[in-house]
A = this chain, B = another copy of it.
Amino acid sequence: MKFHVFVFVGVVHLLSLNCGKAVYGNGISQRTFQEIKEEIACYGDVAKAIINLAVYGKAQNRSYERLALLVDTVGPRLSGSKSLEKAIQIMRQNLQEDGLENVHLEPVKIPHWERGEESAVMLEPRIHKMAVLGLGSSIGTPPEGITAEVLVVTSFDELQRRAPEARGKIVVYNQPYTSYSRAVQYRVQGAVEAAKVGALASLIRSVASFSIYSPHTGIQEYQDGVPKIPTACITVEDAEMMSRMASRGSRIVIQLKMGAKNYPDADSFNTVAEIIGSKYPEQVVLVSGHLDSWDVGQGAMDDGGGAFISWEALSLIKDLGLRPKRTLRLVLWTAEEQGGIGALQYYQLHKANISNYSLVMESDLGTFLPSGLQFTGSDKARAIVEEVMCLLQPINVTQVFRAGEGTDINFWIQAGVPGASLLDDLYKYFSFHHSHGDTMTVMDPKQMNVAAAVWAVVSYVIADMEEMLPRS
């Protein structure tokens, strides 16, 4: 996942939910909701069939095995890279061979940035070669690097207070990790804020919940009118060490070399497959994850897992011979990590049809054992989703949280379409996020089975109900 729309700030707002007792909002009669409840309850056997196939049956571990094969074969899939385009072509073939319908690629333009060779060496107070990862979209340094004294700060406020000290220095941010959404602001805006006070470069403490000396990359953003300076992430360990050194009065000097370059936008594709609706084929439940990743690790967790349980959801439904009334559309986004670039172009192309989107779903926060579903939508729609989640009692994943979101689906959600995302262990997720450690080792086939079952039941039932989800 990228950064900017992640509004989840540590505390989960759990909507109280007792299966079969959800309270429907105003504006629709109690009787009508009773009918909807009865309609949903009829899906009990279908839900059990999906669960049995995904978790205990022939399909178990399939999404894990499919994902392992792809990411072992192509590795990470950075926007603009050949490996991303190779992955897209493989996925088109996979989806066709799986027997899904209307498999096609929708062309888009995406950013092309390459990190090149990079290094950061502490020269004073002692020689220390630091782990470093340039941030996406950062410019490089001159070939000889930037060698400068360091100013360590723990916040933008401290940077402002100490602005006169920053000129000509490398600013090191040692911001605490209180939540991802707070800490990530330093990764995104750290270079701009440092440049405003005359710094030559900025190094950001990796935005991570846990570290074994692991740098975590991600996108950063320049601002018009502010000089562009090179920026990279360092480890939590080195940021803390420099903070200690600075507090003891030690002079710290770093040599930073980055070969990063931005190239003209590249050609890429959103990858689409469907199960076409039997009764309202023009109406859509969109199920998605993104196929691109950062250029480290394997992009297995972010977002291979989300992409592959989304594919798995359609596979399960197809394997059971089910065809919902509405079209189930799988979209594997491209260039999510650069800010939902592929998804924005998809939205612009398809938004004329927005009234036909019943629900947009994206899994991009891990596919570990799900805590439940995050949902954004009207109270009426939420009540329906809560009823649907009751169908997942056999695997004990029934909770519905606030703030359904996803970089790629937020365009639709902000325009009023109900949106759902999968929630699981965020501490674990942000231990590996955007690091070399985002590999298949993180993934658990049994957890992916459960996540896929949740994804399939929700998407199928919402796509098959007689009415679309009500909007505000």
Contact = CB atoms under 8 A, between A and B. Distances in A.
Nearest to A442: B237
B212 A126 contact: no
The CB with the most chain B CB atoms within 10 A, among A211, A237, A248, A431, is that of A237
A48 B248 CA distance: 33
A248 B435 CA distance: 26
A439 B237 contact: yes
B72 A245 contact: yes
The CB with the most chain B CB atoms within 10 A, among A68, A240, A241, A435, is that of A241
Contact of A437 (B126, B212, B245, B297): B212
Contacts of A254: none
B441 A240 contact: yes
Contact of A126 (B74, B435, B436): B74
A253 B213 CA distance: 28
Nearest to A65: B244
A269 to B, nearest CB: 21
A469 B435 CA distance: 52
Given A131-B436, A440-B240, A126 B73 contact: yes
The CB with the most chain B CB atoms within 10 A, among A73, A75, A213, A297, is that of A213
A264 to B, nearest CB: 24
A69 interface: yes
Interface in A177-231: 210-214
Given A211-B212, A213-B439, 10 more contacts: A68-B244, A69-B248, A74-B126, A210-B212, A212-B214, A212-B432, A212-B436, A213-B435, A241-B439, A244-B440
Contacts of A436: 131, 212-213, 237
Interface in A421-441: 431-432, 435-437, 439-441
A128 interface: yes
A212 B73 CA distance: 21
A236 interface: yes
A125 interface: yes
Nearest to A216: B212
Nearest to A212: B437
Contacts of A75: 126, 128
Given A212-B432, A214-B213, A214-B214, A237 B437 contact: yes
Contacts of A298: 241
Contacts of A74: 126
A214 B212 CA distance: 7
A210 to B, nearest CB: 8
Interface string A122-162: 00011010010000000000000000000000000000000
Nearest to A438: B213
20 contacts: A72-B244, A72-B248, A75-B126, A75-B128, A212-B212, A212-B432, A212-B435, A213-B214, A213-B435, A213-B436, A213-B439, A214-B214, A237-B297, A237-B436, A237-B437, A237-B440, A240-B440, A240-B441, A241-B298, A241-B440
A444 to B, nearest CB: 13
Indicate how many identical chains form the complex.
2
A124 to B, nearest CB: 12
B244 A437 contact: no
B126 A237 contact: no
Interface string A63-94: 00000110011110000000000000000000
Contact of A241 (B72, B126, B244, B245): B72
A128 to B, nearest CB: 6
Nearest to A441: B237
Contacts of A435: 212-213
Nearest to A131: B436
A213 B438 CA distance: 8
Contacts of A125: 73
A305 to B, nearest CB: 15
The CB with the most chain B CB atoms within 10 A, among A131, A212, A297, A298, is that of A212
A83 to B, nearest CB: 8
Contacts of A212: 210-212, 214, 431-432, 435-437
Contact of A213 (B240, B241, B297): B297
A68 to B, nearest CB: 6
A437 B432 CA distance: 14
A371 B206 CA distance: 32
